[in-house]
Structure 1
Amino acid sequence: MVKINAKAASVSFRGVTKIYGRDVVAVDDIDLEVAAGTLVTLLGPSGCGKTTTLRMIAGLEMPSQGQIFIGDKDVSTLPATDRDVSMVFQSYALFPHMTVMENVSYGLKFSGFDKSETKDRAVAGLGLVGLTGYGDRLPSELSGGQQQRVAVARALVLEPQVLLFDEPLSNLDAKLRRQVREEIREIQQNLGLTVVYVTHDQEEALAVSDEIVVMRNAGIAQKGTPRELYEAPASAFVADFIGEANLIPCEILSVSEGMAEIGIGSFRHQLVSRGLAPGKARVAVRPSRVRIGAAGQGMPAKIAKATYVGSRMEYTVEAEFGQLFAVLDDVASPLEPGAEVMISFAESGPVLVPE
C-alpha cells in the first residue's frame, strides 16, 4: 500500500500551453495527472518542454492557456509565493556564507515558526538526509553529494504539498548520482511525498519513478510506469530514448489473433502485433535481446567491434540491414572482430513500432 503524506497533493494540467513571445511554443496543449504521494519524472531531450512544465508547477512561469491544479485548487495565475511548493535546483543554490543549519532554516524564518520550532525542524531535516552533526559546517566544506542533500533538506522542512526537482544530480559523478537518487527515492517513499522530477537521464528516470512522462517537441510522447515504457514503447522515439534499442526496418507479413509474423530479408520472427496491420514497420530490439550464434537459424552477420566492459561484452554487428548493437554476459570466450555469426532475437523483448 502506498503511503501518502497528509499534506501531499495531486497535480493536474488541463490543456496547458506555454508560448514565449509571439510564436515559440514551449509546451503544447498537455494534459497531465500526478497522483498524490507519487514520484513522476518528466523525461526528454533538451528543449522538449520538461523544465518549462516544472516551472509552471512552481509558479515561476504562467501558462498561456489551460489550467493547473494543485489538489483541488486552481493555481494557474498564482505567484510562486502563494503556492505550497518547494523546488530543489540543479545548482543547489546554497548560500555560501551561511552554515548548513542556517541554509536549511532559511525558508522557515519566513513561514511563521518561532526560533525553537525552526531549529527543531532544521535538525529533523538534516536527520532525514543523513547529515546529523553537519549543521555548523559551511557549504564549501561539504562534498557535492552532501551539498545536494542540504538542498533537499531545505525543501523538505517546509513540508510542501509538492516537491520539485530540476536535474538534481547532473553535477554529481556517476557513483554519487546512483547513491543520491536512491536516497531521494527512499525519502519520497518513506514520507509519502508528491514529487515531480525532471531529468534527461533515462537510467535515472527508470530508477526513481512511479511513472515517467516522456516529452518531445513540447508535447507528451508517452506516459506510463518504467516497465511499461521500457518493454512496450509506443514509438521509435520512445524505444530509442528509454534505454538503448536497435530499430530495424521490417515487413509485417501477416497478422493472426494478435500475433504478427515479420520478415527481415529471409529471416522470420513472431511477436505481438500491437494493433499494426501488414506492411512496413520497425522492430525495436534491446541489445540484451539480440542472440548471437555460430550457426543455426537467423541472419548472417559479422562482428565489427568487440568491447570488454567488465561484466559483459559489447558487440557492434554488421548485417544486411545495417549495424546492430548487442551485449552478451559471456566474457570468458569473447567473439573476435571479423567473426562470421548468425543473429536472431529472444522470444520476448522485441516489440513492433510504427514505421
Structure 2
Amino acid sequence: MSDSKIGSKAAPVRFEGVSKLFGKDVVAVDRIDLDVAAGKLVTLLGPSGCGKTTTLRMIAGLEMASAGRILIGGRDVTRLPATDRDVSMVFQSYALFPHMNVLENVMYGLTFSGFARDEARSRALHGLDLVGLRGFDGRLPSELSGGQQQRVAVARALVLEPQVLLFDEPLSNLDAKLRRQVREDIRAIQQDLGLTVVYVTHDQEEALAVSDEIVVMRNAAIAQIGTPRQLFEAPNDRFVADFIGEANLLACTIVAIDGQTATIDIEGYRHDLPSRGLSEGPATIAVRPSRLRIGDDRGIRATVAKATYVGVRMEYTLTGAFGQVFAVHEDVDAPLAPGAEVRMGFAAKGPVLLHE
C-alpha cells in the first residue's frame, strides 16, 4: 500500500434534498443540498442538535435518509447499508479494543474484510507509519496517551483505503494542547494523501484550522457554506457571525450607498464598507474584537468596564450608548483602567453588514 494509492480512491459526496425524520415530528435534517469535492476536508459545524452528526451518519449508512438522494463517487448509496459503502469512520470514543495491541487494532478491519494476515500486517504497519506511530505496534491502548490512541483510530480507518473518511468530534476527549497537535496531524495526513474527509465538530477554532470548506448548520438546515476566511470575514447573518469566532453586533444606520460601498453611521461616527446588496436605513454590523480600534480620536464614546491581562494582549469590555462590546489590544505595557473614557473606531477592513 503506497501513499499515492490511499488518496487515489477519494470520491466526492453529494446530498440532493436530503431529509431525516425521527418518528413523525422530529426533523433532524431538513432538505439539505451539499457537495463535498474529492480530496477536500469539509467540516460540518454547529451547536448541539443542529443535525451535523445525523448528516455524517447518513453518509456512513448508520442512519437512512427519509427523503432525497446521497451519492458517493457518483453512485447512489441512499438505500445501501453501511457495509456496502466505501467509507470509514473515526469515532469520538476511539473505539479501540483494549485487549488487542496497536497492530492488532489497526489490522482488525482488514482481517474482517478478508485480507490475508501477511497483507493485513503490511498494510497496518504502513498505516502506523503514516500517523507517526512506528514502533508502537506491540503496545496496548492503555499504554498510549489520548492523542496516540486517536492516531491509532485514524490509522485503522486509513488502511481500509476508503473513498470517504468521516470524523465525529474526534478531538473532544483531548486537552487543549493535544487538540491542537492532533488536529494538525489529521490535516497533514488528509492533505498528504488527498483524502475526502467529512469532519464534525462544534468547536469553531477547530473548524477554522482544519477545513477547506465549512458547512454551518442551524436547526436541521444549512445556514451558510464557505471557506474559513469567507465565513469569518463575510458571515451572512447574526447566527453565523456570532458562531464563527467572537463578533460584536452593533446597530447602525446606512446613510448612503455608492455602487458597492455603504456608508454607515453610529452616533456620528461614519465608516465605509461593502454594501452587500443592502439599501439605506437601519442595519446591523458585525465587528471582530481585533477590528475595533481603541483611541480613535473621531470614534464612538465608550467607557472601559473591564480590563483583563492575558499575557500577549489586553482584553477589554467597553460600554456606551451602543451597548457593550469586547475588544482586544496588543499594548500590554500601558493598559487602560476600568472607568477610563475612550473613543472607539473600526479598522478599515473587517466590519461587515449582516443580512437580517
TM-score by length of 1: 0.98
In the alignment, the residues of structure 1 paired with residue 92 and residue 204 of structure 2 have an alpha-carbon distance, to the nearest angstrom, of: 17
1:268 deviates by 1.5
Q: Which 4+ runs in 1 deviate beyond 3 A?
A: none
In the alignment, the residues of structure 2 paired with residue 119 and residue 297 of structure 1 have an alpha-carbon distance, to the nearest angstrom, of: 69
- In structure 2, the gaps of 5 or more residues are none
1:75 deviates by 0.2
Look up the match of 2:351.
350
Deviations 1:278-303 (CA, angstroms, capped at 9, x unpaired): 1221110000000001x610111110
In the alignment, the residues of structure 2 paired with residue 161 and residue 354 of structure 1 have an alpha-carbon distance, to the nearest angstrom, of: 38
1:150 deviates by 0.5
Overall identity of the aligned pairs, in %: 73
Look up the match of 1:328.
329
Look up the match of 1:43.
45
In the alignment, the residues of structure 1 paired with residue 277 and residue 208 of structure 2 have an alpha-carbon distance, to the nearest angstrom, of: 26
Look up the match of 1:313.
314
1:112 deviates by 2.1
In the alignment, the residues of structure 2 paired with residue 175 and residue 45 of structure 1 have an alpha-carbon distance, to the nearest angstrom, of: 23
1:207 deviates by 0.5
Look up the match of 1:253.
255
Deviations 1:305-335 (CA, angstroms, capped at 9, x unpaired): 0101111110000111111100011111111
Look up the match of 1:279.
281
1:266 deviates by 2.0
Letter in 1 for 2:74: D
Question: What pairs with 1:195-344 in structure 2 (closer than 5 Å)?
Answer: 195-293=197-295, 296-344=297-345
Letter in 2 for 1:22: K
TM-score by length of 2: 0.97
Letter in 1 for 2:151: R
Question: What pairs with 1:123-202 in structure 2 (closer than 5 Å)?
Answer: 123-202=125-204
In the alignment, the residues of structure 2 paired with residue 110 and residue 88 of structure 1 have an alpha-carbon distance, to the nearest angstrom, of: 17
1:92 deviates by 0.4
1:5 deviates by 2.3
Provide the secondary structure at the position in 2 that maps to 1:87: strand
Letter in 2 for 1:303: V
In the alignment, the residues of structure 2 paired with residue 135 and residue 179 of structure 1 have an alpha-carbon distance, to the nearest angstrom, of: 21
1:53 deviates by 0.2
Look up the match of 2:82.
80
Deviations 1:215-245 (CA, angstroms, capped at 9, x unpaired): 0010000001111111111111111111110
In the alignment, the residues of structure 2 paired with residue 296 and residue 11 of structure 1 have an alpha-carbon distance, to the nearest angstrom, of: 52
Provide the secondary structure at the position in 2 that maps to 1:354: coil
In the alignment, the residues of structure 2 paired with residue 66 and residue 198 of structure 1 have an alpha-carbon distance, to the nearest angstrom, of: 21
Provide the secondary structure at the position in 2 that maps to 1:134: coil
In the alignment, the residues of structure 2 paired with residue 319 and residue 269 of structure 1 have an alpha-carbon distance, to the nearest angstrom, of: 18
Letter in 2 for 1:187: I
